[in-house]
Amino acid sequence: MIHSLSSPPLGKAAVKVAAALAGVLLATAACGGGSSGGGDASGTAGLKGKTVTFVGYGKDNPWGASFNGVFVPKLESQGVKVVDLTTMDPGTAVTNFNQAISNKPDLIVAALLDTSSTVVPIKKAKQAGIPVLVFDGRPDPSVDGDVMQVLSDSEALGTAAAQNLVEGLKAQGRTSGSIIAITGTKSGFAAQDRMKGFDAELAKTPEYKVVDIQDGNWDPTLSGKIATQLFAKYGCSGIQGAYGMADYQALPIVAAAKQAGCPVGGKNGLIVTGSNCFKAGIDAIKGGTLYGTATEDPGTIAEQTADYVIRYFNQQNPPAKELVKEERVTAKNVAQFAEQCSKA
Amino acid sequence: MNVMSARPRSAAPIRRPGLVVDGVLLLAVLAAIVLALTTDRFLTVANAKAILTSASLVGIAALGLTLITIGGSAVSLAISPSVAAVGMIFLSAQSLGLIAALVLAVLCGTLITGLQGAVVGYAAANPVVLTIAASFAITGIATGVSGGSTVSPTAGGYDRLNATPGGVALSVYVLIGLALIVEWTLRRTGFGRSLYLIGENRRAARAAGLPVGRMTAVAWLGAGALFAVTAAFTAAFNTSANVNLGGTLTFDAIAAVLAGGTPISGGRGSALRTLAGAVLIAAASDILLLRGYSTGVQIMVKGVIVLVVVVTVHLRTRGSRA
């Protein structure tokens, strides 16, 4: 009885609150629609007062944290207002992208955690006349022409990894060899493009063959487990080279090889390469357990992306697509890249 | 006479579900054995070592979760962030020496999870809701303190955790040793017996004068220590640690506990069952990998195993209570 008596007033109150809220939202939307907002897609010259909504990787990702730490301060120092809508959750990223469109900034800068689910938001941004700059990974081909891009050269990263392996195996005097690859999320363009470059480069030396490719999902622990099982499957004599798509995947491969009793590095040991560098990878190259890696460090791409934004706002007409130059790193040149690769 | 004649009729429906479940289970086990025996390279010493190594890190965390589950607190959803945070502490403390870093890691792990256990035990907080909140808080603090960057070891002592005495990973010995200790604690100590009672019926345990809050908190403290051991081994294996170090460990540990047959409702189960669950899942993944199936298929099969065991346990429990 108490419940039935008290619930109607609560229900009415809730309806009133909901109605008031809806009214406020409608009014806000109407006002927003009437105002000029920003969103000047033509890009008036100068950076002061420009607004960038940043739908990048979240700070809980080391690569993202390092990128954001370079990108945001560089733009803010030029007078650009950066609205932070970063996240590592693909679903939230789509919501944030839609939120960014409704904010009507001068530019949306986005990292695409899920390329398919961001197709619609990119199209919406285009309809709303808001320019979008995508960094790191490429967008879905259906919206490739609708966005500006500053991309990591994933194919070059794969090529560098293959070159590291071939160089290391040849240096050991091996005339043939079996290679395993533990990739990032296979369905993502980054992993696909890296494997494209890797396979193409390795095809030049058919004596070195990839015997197993497994999806490590950019997860170091999973990569270590897979490596442990692969060393059991093929034995130490069955694997001469290994590619972990990121240094944090390559290092668990090294640990798994050691635990399986397989020698690593040196004159006869397993040759392991990463392909986007981290401090622990640089230390491992210096220690001789990791043969090599390649750059794709967050600082370099953050600098180039911020520079692109500055050129765009200054109406210097940057090209629609820019690739970041990636470098191969081995013991020979590790000192040169040690600092650049030690920020994430 | 009527009563006597009615007995067989009433007993029949009780036994049938149990028989069916047992039959299905037997067939599944036979099928798995056939699959394993017909998989090339499955029956090798190297592969057995690989399965145990794969099971060890998840298994140690799952032992901790077993304490939580048996005590009636269902599950902790904050295992991965706890392991990540403790792994970062462990590697950053390497300059103090391996033992000091281990002690610090276990202390921090015990504190992080023990605090959650105290709230669950004394304030009767919902463990699922609480640990969701805790996982956000732990990740937030770890990200804030580390600035989101990856922690690299400050000295090389950690590598001793990657040792392979007798050709088997050290983490395997630790898993087996800890499983025996947890099993003994559950079966042979007053704490263990109380934990089963609390998990079976919290209200009755309280009425019987058992210190429910304290026992629950102690179970979570123990779990925290075991999560910390997992963290140290995982960080040492990966040579670096960040907030993503735990990966899918929360769900892997839950899967191992459930696959071992410990019911989510608590009051029953054992550490050795959890050990078996962890090895079962690792063996299933191994068979699939040896047969060339993708990671996606391996994850799907893990889910199917957990589902089958949970349904089996449920049907058997219902059958025995009917």
Q: CB of A130 within 8 A of CB of A104?
A: yes
Rounded Cα gap, residues B55 and B281, in angstroms: 8
State the number of CA atoms in the 13 A half-sphere of A3 facing the CB: 0
Please, what is the average pLDDT of chain A? 87
The domains located in chain A, with CATH, are 51-152+299-326 (3.40.50.2300), 154-294 (3.40.50.2300)
Which amino acid appears at position A291 of this protein?
Answer: Y
CA B93 distance to own-chain centroid:
26
Which amino acid appears at position B219 of this protein?
Answer: A
Residue B24 lies in a domain: no
Backbone dihedral angles phi then psi of residue A80, each to the nearest 5 degrees: -85, 135
Q: Pick from A216, A255, A278: which is nearest to B237 by CB?
A: A255
Question: What are A25's two structure tokens?
Answer: 């939202």
Q: Name, in order, each residue with C-beta under 8 angstroms of B321's C-beta and a sequence gap of 6 or more.
A: none
Interface list for B 44-83 with A (CB within 8 A): 44, 46-47, 49-51, 53-54, 57
Q: What is the mean pLDDT of residues A309-334?
A: 95
Nearest CA in chain A to B40: A233
Q: pLDDT class for A10, splitting at 50, 70, 90?
A: very low
pLDDT tens-digit series, residues A44-86: 567 888 999 999 998 878 888 889 999 999 999 999 999 999 9
Q: Measured between CA atoms, how close is B266 to chain A, in angstroms?
A: 29
Q: What is the mean pLDDT of residues B202-231?
A: 96
Q: CB of B250 within 8 A of CB of B78?
A: yes
Residue B309 lies in a domain: yes
Q: Is B149 on the interface with A (CB under 8 A)?
A: yes
Q: Encode A134-170: b = buried (16+ Cβ within 10 Å), e = exposed.
A: bbbbbbbeebeebbbbbbbbbbbbbbbbbbbbbbbbe
Residue B226 lies in a domain: yes
Please report, in angstroms and rounded to a whole number, the separation of the first and last CA atoms in chain A: 62
Backbone dihedral angles phi then psi of residue B78, each to the nearest 5 degrees: -110, 20
Please report, in angstroms and rounded to a whole number, the separation of the first and last CA atoms in chain B: 23
Q: Name, in order, each residue with C-beta under 8 angstroms of A27's C-beta and a sequence gap of 6 or more.
A: none
* Residue A37 confidence (pLDDT): 33
Q: Is the pLDDT of residue B54 over 50?
A: yes
> 3-class SS at A114?
coil
Contacts of A251 in chain B (CB under 8 A): 238-240
Residue B27 lies in a domain: no
Q: Is the pLDDT of residue B5 over 80?
A: no
Which amino acid appears at position A5 of this protein?
Answer: L
* Residue B311 confidence (pLDDT): 84
Q: Which domain holds residue B128?
A: 45-321
Interface residues of A toward B, Cβ cutoff 8 Å, are 59-62, 64-66, 68-69, 186, 214-217, 219-222, 224-226, 228-233, 235, 248, 251-252, 254-256, 258-261, 278-280, 283-284, 343-344
Residue B214 lies in a domain: yes
Q: Encode B287-322: b = buried (16+ Cβ within 10 Å), e = exposed.
A: bbbbeeeebeebbebbeebbeebeebbebbeebeee
Q: Do A258 and B164 touch (CB under 8 A)?
A: yes
ipTM of predicted complex: 0.80
What CATH number is attached to the domain comprising B64? 1.10.3470
Residue B62 lies in a domain: yes
Q: Do B249 and A225 touch (CB under 8 A)?
A: no
Q: Do A221 and B245 touch (CB under 8 A)?
A: yes
Q: What is the mean pLDDT of residues A270-287?
A: 93
> 3-class SS at B1?
coil
Q: Name, in order, each residue with C-beta under 8 angstroms of B104's C-beta and a sequence gap of 6 or more.
A: B89, B90, B93, B96
* Residue A48 confidence (pLDDT): 85
Residue B132 lies in a domain: yes
Structural domain tally of chain B? 1
* Residue A16 confidence (pLDDT): 56
Residue B203 lies in a domain: yes
Cα distances from B93 to residues A81, A218, B106, B137, B156, in angstroms, run 39, 26, 12, 22, 11
Q: Pick from B149, B236, B247: which is nearest to A222 by CB?
A: B247
Q: pLDDT class for A9, splitting at 50, 70, 90?
A: very low
* Residue B199 confidence (pLDDT): 96
DSSP B189: S
Sign of CA dihedral B305, B309, B315, B318: negative
Chosen from B237, B294, B299, B300 to mutate, greatest number of chain A CBs within 10 A = B237
